[in-house]
């Protein structure tokens, strides 16, 4: 009897590896319940009323909402990416983001949150104490005076988990259409512990190295966008270019790109506004600057395209909006509305120029332009923060170069010169470790067939599409069939 396309004959190696991982997942589930002594004492109705009264219900409602908004961003990202790849790898591209959500959340509960937000380990302000919050030990209903003074610590932990989820999902777009799914998930797991958690601790923990140095990153320009963007650049270089002609294809479904952009824009209100960790003025200011910068960047992108003789396109407009969201992220709680407009314009033009230059001159095949959007967009946003931050918005004696102080500017340059090589080097090392265990790139035959069918045994709409893509001139016919 023939084996269906979506089934594989069980081999000894496959049974051992899958069975081991399933057993570990079950074991961790038991340990999360039994190992952390006293954790349940922080969850029940027996908690002291005086301590429960410290919880602000308005802040808690806003942070729970923000957590849901940021969670939605990762599926939104999957549609944004999925709409731009070939139809034969659309499902694979969507699936990568969805599985990363599950993988990273489990790793976050087991150890990631402790590494990112535990007390600095042995006084070294680079990584958190792995034993403080392992298995969510002591993560309960009471507020944490240092991290979340007015909301349950559980809410704060889950809010930060959504950031940890979307960050590795961002760099998957750089190697779309040619990456081995299993190897990518292994890479994400190691990268989460060795790159994301240290950066989150150094930037966002009160005694973190970068934070105490005087650097300012309100919602993730360094931790999320620069880390994923420069990881994407190195991964694309190491993985190699797609097969000949694959870079000139008809996007699978442009409406998916627009849907994904809408979900990202919507979710980004939680991403930036929730980073105030309260529902007051600062959250509102972040919402305003985020919205204004995004709208400005969208317009700047399509106007720059038009100046360059290119048609105004849906993908271009969506790309401009996302770059605006990226660039304003580190600055949203520190700048005025006027500053956010400048950041949107500069971020869009810089990323637009870099994107087309990179495609024309570089031998690196960044499939979905992750570096130009997130790496360079995040870097531009960080630099612009050091120019336009002002204590008129954030009352912390915080002024950028435009307001007469060069301190933040120089601190930002130093941090950038450290973070970029850190991400590149760690990505290089993790890639080679993973590549020894599992081949990071699929075979030429699997790539030609498309990852949906070759790796996952599924095809869009149940139709067996010919992997040979039509030129752009046939896109009208393609859109009719896709609809």
Query: Tell me: the pLDDT tens digits for 340-353?
Result: 999 999 999 999 99
Higher pLDDT, 462 or 239: 239
When mean pLDDT is compared across 30-34, 128-132, 144-148, 435-439, the lowest value belongs to 30-34
Contact between 438 and 180 (Cβ < 8 Å): yes
In whole angstroms, give the CA distance from residue 410 to residue 214.
Answer: 10
What's the pLDDT score for residue 147?
95
Query: Tell me: the pLDDT tens digits for 177-228?
Result: 999 999 999 999 999 999 999 999 999 999 999 999 989 999 999 999 999 9
pLDDT average, residue stretch 17-32: 80
Domains of the chain: 66-463 (1.10.3430.10)
What's the pLDDT score for residue 474?
35
What's the pLDDT score for residue 336?
96
Query: Tell me: the pLDDT tens digits for 239-281?
Result: 999 886 555 678 999 999 999 999 999 999 999 999 999 999 9
When mean pLDDT is compared across 1-15, 61-75, 302-316, 425-439, the lowest value belongs to 1-15
Q: Which single residue is written with the structure tokens 């680079």?
A: 126
Query: Tell me: the pLDDT tens digits for 367-385?
Result: 999 999 999 999 999 999 9
Number of H helices, E strands in the chain: 20, 0
What's the pLDDT score for residue 45?
66
What's the pLDDT score for residue 479?
35
3-state DSSP helix/strand/coil % of the chain, to nearest 5: 70, 0, 30
Confidence of residue 432 (pLDDT cuts 50, 70, 90): very high
What's the pLDDT score for residue 465?
45
CA angle 175, 176, 177 (to 5 degrees): 120
């Amino acid at each position: 009897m023939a084996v269906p396309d979506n089934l594989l004959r069980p081999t000894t190696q496959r049974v051992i590896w899958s069975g081991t991982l399933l057993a570990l997942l079950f074991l961790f589930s038991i340990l999360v319940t039994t190992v952390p002594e006293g954790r349940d004492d922080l969850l029940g109705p027996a908690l002291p009323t005086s301590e429960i009264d410290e919880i602000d219900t308005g802040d808690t409602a806003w942070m729970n909402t923000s957590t849901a908004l940021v969670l939605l961003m990762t599926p939104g990202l999957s549609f944004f990416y999925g709409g731009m790849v070939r139809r034969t790898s659309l499902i694979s591209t969507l699936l990568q983001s969805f599985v990363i959500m599950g993988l990273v959340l489990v790793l976050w509960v087991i150890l990631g949150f402790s590494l990112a937000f535990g007390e600095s380990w042995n006084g070294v302000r680079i990584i958190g104490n792995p034993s403080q919050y392992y298995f969510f030990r002591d993560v309960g209903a009471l507020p944490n005076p240092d991290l979340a003074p007015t909301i349950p610590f559980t809410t704060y932990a889950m809010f930060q988990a959504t950031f940890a989820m979307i960050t590795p999902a961002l760099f998957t777009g750089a190697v779309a259409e040619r990456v081995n799914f299993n190897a990518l998930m292994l890479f994400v797991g190691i990268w989460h512990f060795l790159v994301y958690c240290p950066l989150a601790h150094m930037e966002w923990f009160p005694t973190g190295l970068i934070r105490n140095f005087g650097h300012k990153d309100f919602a993730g320009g360094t931790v999320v966008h620069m880390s994923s963007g420069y990881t994407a650049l190195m991964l694309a270089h190491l993985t190699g270019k797609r097969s000949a002609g694959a870079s000139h294809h008809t996007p699978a479904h442009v409406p998916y790109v627009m849907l994904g952009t809408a979900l990202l824009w919507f979710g980004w209100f939680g991403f930036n506004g929730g980073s105030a960790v309260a529902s007051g003025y600062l959250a509102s200011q972040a919402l305003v600057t985020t919205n204004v910068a995004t709208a400005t960047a969208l317009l700047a992108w399509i106007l720059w395209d038009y100046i360059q003789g290119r048609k105004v396109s849906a993908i271009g407009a969506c790309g401009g909006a996302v770059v605006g969201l990226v660039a304003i992220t580190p600055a949203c709680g520190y700048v005025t509305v006027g500053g956010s407009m400048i950041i949107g314009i500069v971020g869009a033009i810089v990323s637009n120029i870099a994107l087309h230059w990179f495609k024309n001159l570089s031998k690196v095949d960044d499939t979905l332009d992750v570096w130009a959007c997130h790496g360079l967009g995040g870097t531009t946003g960080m630099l612009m923060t050091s120019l336009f931050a002002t204590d008129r918005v954030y009352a912390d004696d915080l002024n950028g170069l435009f307001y007469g102080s060069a301190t933040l500017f120089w601190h930002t340059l130093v941090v950038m010169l450290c973070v970029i090589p850190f991400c590149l080097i760690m990505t290089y090392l993790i890639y080679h470790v993973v590549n020894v265990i599992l081949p990071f790139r699929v075979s030429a035959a699997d790539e030609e067939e498309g990852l949906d069918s070759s790796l996952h045994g599924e095809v869009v709409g149940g139709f067996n599409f010919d992997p040979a893509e039509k030129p752009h001139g046939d896109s009208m016919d393609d859109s009719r069939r896709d609809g």
